[in-house]
Chain A
């Protein structure tokens, strides 16, 4: 057994906790953007991911994602069912269970990202089935391809912390599910303004904070690469906030709070695949491009008429594609010898080609399997996947969970 690196172990365990915190952060980010009658349903769909994905991860998930690692395959194996034989073993210089915990937090937040697209209209029971099966059928294979030395990693595609596995994967799944669910009643004519942008801003802060664990933790070490990823994460989010605000101010007349929050998140998404492979100025450029382009990408839903309620496609799918592709341009092997040189650093177009292939492969797989899963659930579940018109009008909080998000009334008028 190789000797444990205590610094690396401490950092990865800390990072796992940071990344787990992102899921309630995401819940607040999204929860503030929906109408008040749907706030609890949004929080619940996210927080539930921490429950179901964790249980699945222990039973089969980790094994199917990270079994048979490093062999260029399509899926793991059953060697680690129930986390069998992992206690007191190492994964490189850290305990295997530290790696299990760290990767689990990625598996938790990825399907949670989808909730923003399907807001206000998905049946709770349908979400329970969807997230469980999506984790197994979509997340685990893609995580194996990229994070466990599967076929994409073997070909030479780079993804430092999950541009493909997390963001393109979730974005493509969100797009497929939105097309199946249909638009919210009244969209896009009726105004559906965010009910609490302060919640959204709080969520943005938690996401940014947790993203340091997401990206710098992905170094799986407490070293120079981790610090590079940390700084790049910081820089890209800041540049993207400015990029979004500039374009927003020019196009729609105001620099908005929601724009600042959205821009920062777009930058965090785009830097995710690049974080440990590029220099600081490249991170600035990647962030600025992501902020501007993701804002413009929101228009796609109006152009094509799909109701991606909180812009998961524009921020996560488009942001993930921007980061994954630009990595083929900006990757710099002097920053991280484990990486490759991109177009700008004399590496030619080889890496860029692999990045494009990885983007297309993950998008196509996730979109197809998510779509098939949605179609199957719509056919099999007695109530379908969408709430009734009446329940949609009444709000998901009350109709799906029998709760109210805000009870400010002096007189409740209830009795038992």
Chain B
């Protein structure tokens, strides 16, 4: 089992979701997060005072998949999530030792 984690631009979520569903995934978990990479933050102005806001809003997508599907899923996110401008985000793959479905107690790929 693998966990594919992606941090993407918030407005790309719907496209990424549709593309991953088309790849055959059964579920995903989405979290609103803040952070920065090379893009760094943005500027806000209040009554003439400029503030550099370092952490920009992003969406973190997590999908648990079989070992065989992990690279395809990651490549799909890279493909669909790309705008070509700075701040598009990252995708990484980590191993998951075991997985269980709580309702049935199924384990492994049956639980996906």
Segment from B1-9, B31-39, B45-53, B91-99 that makes contact with A: B45-53
User: Interface-forming stretch among A249-257, A278-286, A401-409?
Assistant: A249-257
Q: Give B60 Cβ to nearest chain A Cβ, in Å.
A: 18
Q: Which residue of B lies closest to A253 (CB)?
A: B45
| A87 proximal to B (CB < 8 A) | no
Residues of chain B lying within 8 A (CB to CB) of residue A191: 44, 51-53
Q: How far is the CA of A191 from the CA of B44 in the complex (A)?
A: 9
B46 interface neighbour in A253, A258, A299, Cβ under 8 Å: A258
Bound-state CA distance A338–B53 (Å) is: 54
Most A C-beta atoms less than 10 A away, residue of B46, B47, B51, B53: B47
* A252 to B46 Cα, complex, angstroms: 9
Instruction: Check B48–A193 contact: CB distance below 8 A.
Output: no
Name the distance in Å between A313's Cβ and chain B's nearest Cβ: 12
Report how far A259 CA is from B44 CA in the complex, Å: 13
- Asked if A324 is an interface residue, CB under 8 A from chain B, the answer is no
Q: Does A188 contact B (CB under 8 A)?
A: yes
Given contacts A191-B44, A193-B44, contact A252 B50 (CB under 8 A): yes
A340 interface residue (CB < 8 Å to B): no
Per-residue CB contact flags for chain A residues 237-261 toward chain B (1 = under 8 Å, else 0) read 0000000000010011110101100
Q: How far is the CA of A188 from the CA of B51 in the complex (A)?
A: 10
Contact indicator A193/B46 (Cβ below 8 Å) = yes
- Cβ-defined contact, B48 with A252, below 8 A: yes
When the two chains form the complex, which single residue of B47, B50, B51, B53 contacts A295, counting CB atoms closer than 8 Å? Answer: B47
CB-CB contacts of B42-73 with A at 8 A, as 1s and 0s?
A: 00111111111100000000000000000000
A252 near B45: Cβ-Cβ < 8 Å: yes
A159 within 8 A of B: no
Select A311's contact among B45, B47, B52, B53, beta carbons within 8 Å: B47
Q: Which residues of B contact A311 (CB under 8 A)?
A: 47
Range of interface residues on B (Cβ < 8 Å): 10 to 19
Q: A103 contacts which chain B residues (CB < 8 A)?
A: none
Q: Which residues of A contact B50 (CB under 8 A)?
A: 252
| In contact, B51 and A248 (Cβ under 8 angstroms) | no
Cα–Cα, bound, A169→B61 (Å): 55
Pair B49/A188 contact, Cβ less than 8 Å:
yes
User: In whole angstroms, what is the CA distance A302 to B49 when docked?
Assistant: 10
Q: Mark A186-206, 1 if CB is under 8 A from B, else 0.
A: 001001011000000000000
Determine whether the beta carbon of B47 is less than 8 Å from that of A259: yes
In Å, the complex CA distance between A191 and B41 comes to: 13
Cβ of B45: which chain A residues have Cβ within 8 Å of it? Answer: 252-254, 256
**What residues of A have a CB within 8 angstroms of the CB of B52 in the complex?**
191
Check if A194 sits within 8 Å of B48, measured CB to CB.
Answer: no
- How far apart are A291's CB and chain B's nearest CB, in angstroms? 13
Q: Is A298 among interface residues, defined by CB-CB distance under 8 A? A: yes
Asked if A262 CB lies within 8 Å of chain B CBs, one says yes
| B53 with A262: CB separation less than 8 A | no
Interface residues of A in 135-190 (CB under 8 A from B): 188
Residues of A contacting B44 with CB < 8 Å?
A: 191, 193
Q: Which 5 A-B pairs have the closest CB atoms?
A: A191-B51, A252-B48, A252-B45, A298-B47, A254-B45
Chain A interface residues (CB < 8 Å from chain B): 188, 191, 193-194, 248, 251-254, 256, 258-259, 262, 295, 298-299, 302, 311
Query: Which residues on B are within 8 Å of A, measured CB to CB?
Result: 44-53
13 A-B interface contacts by CB (under 8 A): A188-B49, A191-B51, A193-B51, A193-B53, A194-B46, A248-B47, A252-B45, A252-B50, A256-B47, A295-B47, A298-B47, A298-B49, A302-B49
